[in-house]
Structure 1
Amino acid sequence: MILTAIKEEAPQVGDHLAMDLLNTEARNDGAAVDYWHSGEEVRAWLARQGVVVAHGQVDSAALHAQAVALRTLARRLIAARKDEEEGGADDADIAALNAYLHAYLGAPHLARGGDGKLALTRTARGDAIASLLGPVAEAVAQLLVEGDFTLVRQCEHPDCILWFYDRTKSHKRRWCSMALCGNRYKAAQFRKKNSQQDSH
């Protein structure tokens, strides 16, 4: 059963765009929660991530379908890389990610930033959907190639499936969020300890 997330936004606890992509699916009390039910929700998520929203018309249903497919693909690729599966990622999955990357056409663009200094950016030149999902696909590819996968982790809370890239100095981060899962876990351990003491 998939619950509808009512006006909730996907948590931004991943510390990496690829991790936050995976975190658009979560779990709450054992039930799956999908934060994307439409292309509009995908566009809102992309805007929160700082991905420039394409101008002009975007087929909402097509954007939603392609974003969900990219998320599923990214989960397979990242899990395979994390698990160091024999031979790594599947060639078909690599080809599928390349399809997103190849559709993401861009050109260098020189412009003045808000501080008046010149800055070199990339301007999307492909179709609207490829322009929106391209930066996300590129983040997944960069993580696969350059990421330290000892720092790619899932939250240790048993009811949580969120991912994060551990950028802490000690590299001992255990929870997607200390305020959420860390405190829930500590409270559960406290209740468990107290109930054991009461039974003696």
Structure 2
Amino acid sequence: MPTPVQPPPQADPPLVGDHLAMDLLNTQARVDGADADAWTSGADVLHWLARQGIVPAAGGGSVDEAELLARAVDLRAQARRLIVARTQGRADDPAGLNAHLHACPATPSLERDGAGGFVLVRLARGDAVARLLLPVAEAVAGLLAEADFSLVRQCEHPDCVLWFFDRTKSHRRRWCSMAVCGNRHKAARFRASRRDGAAG
């Protein structure tokens, strides 16, 4: 009996957004002309969160991966809707995003800092999934409330759908990555100039 061919593992979504909210949107991309979702399981979401430095708290209980996937996909959809609306000069209803923020209330707590002093920390009180997604929801809320939205952009390459927050000094960033889409644009321009030169 022949061994079934396993599909190749999906590559990690690129972390080119320069903002957690942008990298959240970039978990949906276009690969070889087809829409692709980097999240097909809760394990995918956990892996992406770990790449962002967000890991389950020790002793925080087990994470229901199916629930994590469902809530992470909903958070991403809420973020996309609100961010796209804002780039178009509209303010959409934040109730869906607020549901994620309210699922994990945080309480201030005074803790010893190990050097004889104290530090004020916030303790999240939601379930394990809500605690994992809270930093992402807060990043989206912070972007919507505080960012200069003229710096929230999508890559200009016509085959790319990735987002980024332009932190460059000149604020003239055009590509998700100069190494990928920037080079693809330069190569296409070079080929076009050679064709025009040959035709002339």
Summarize the alignment of residues 162-181 of structure 1 with structure 2, pairs less than 5 Å apart.
162-181=162-181
1:67 aligns with 2:51: no
Question: Matches of 2:12 and 2:119 in 1, distance apart?
Answer: 32
Distance 1:196 1:20, change over 3 A: same
Please say which structure displays the higher CA radius of gyration.
2
Aligned twin of 2:123: 123
Superimposed CA distance per residue, residues 7-55 of structure 1 (whole angstroms, 9 cap, x where no aligned partner):
4111101111100100001112211111111111101111111223243
1:176 partner SS: coil
Aligned twin of 1:25: 28
The answer as to whether partners of 1:5 and 1:34 remain within 8 angstroms in 2 is: no
Structure 2 gaps, min length 5: 1-6
The answer as to whether partners of 2:46 and 2:55 remain within 8 angstroms in 1 is: no
Question: Matches of 2:32 and 2:113 in 1, distance apart?
Answer: 49
Aligned twin of 1:34: 37
Aligned residues: 191
What is the root-mean-square deviation of aligned Cα atoms in Å?
A: 2.0
Distance 1:83 1:50, change over 3 A: same
Aligned twin of 1:106: 106
State the one-letter code of the partner of 1:174: R
The answer as to whether partners of 2:162 and 2:176 remain within 8 angstroms in 1 is: yes
1:116 offset after TM fit, Å? Answer: 9.3
Relative to the length of structure 2, the TM-score reads 0.88
The answer as to whether partners of 2:108 and 2:120 remain within 8 angstroms in 1 is: yes
State the 4+ residue runs in structure 1 displaced beyond 6 angstroms: none
Question: Matches of 2:83 and 2:184 in 1, distance apart?
Answer: 27
Distance 1:116 1:179, change over 3 A: farther
1:162 offset after TM fit, Å? Answer: 0.5
Superimposed CA distance per residue, residues 79-101 of structure 1 (whole angstroms, 9 cap, x where no aligned partner):
0011013xx21x3xx11111100
Structure 1 gaps, min length 5: none
1:127 offset after TM fit, Å? Answer: 0.2
Distance 1:96 1:128, change over 3 A: same
Superimposed CA distance per residue, residues 60-109 of structure 1 (whole angstroms, 9 cap, x where no aligned partner):
11110111111111001000011013xx21x3xx1111110011222334
1:12 aligns with 2:21: no
1:196 aligns with 2:196: yes
